[in-house]
Amino acid sequence: PYAHLIGQEFNAVIWFEAYNDRIQALRVRVPEGIPCKTFPHITVSWADGVEPGEANDMLVGSHYGGIVEHLTVRCRIDFHEWR
């Protein structure tokens, strides 16, 4: 259902850093019309043996973090199968 969005570029605004001892993610604000889950984010680092998708659980649960100065990052929608 989202194939028509592949390749679309947009600006996301980073506003919060969240992390625990396993994974780190940057919460972002995305433009209206960009489909996303409850906590739009960019996963930026993870420990060996941890899958990037664990960031979703971390953001719902306990984590450290704080508000960061709003930074804008250029993004492009793509699909990569995680193995």
What one-letter code names the amino acid at 52? P
Q: What's the confidence (pLDDT) of residue 83?
A: 60
Q: What's the confidence (pLDDT) of residue 82?
A: 60
Mean pLDDT by 10 residues, the chain (83 residues): 89 97 96 87 96 93 93 89 63
Q: What's the confidence (pLDDT) of residue 37?
A: 72
CB 18 within 8 A of CB 65: yes
Q: Give the residue among 33, 34, 15, 35 at the shortest CA–CA distance from 25.
A: 15
Determine if the pTM surpasses 0.75: yes
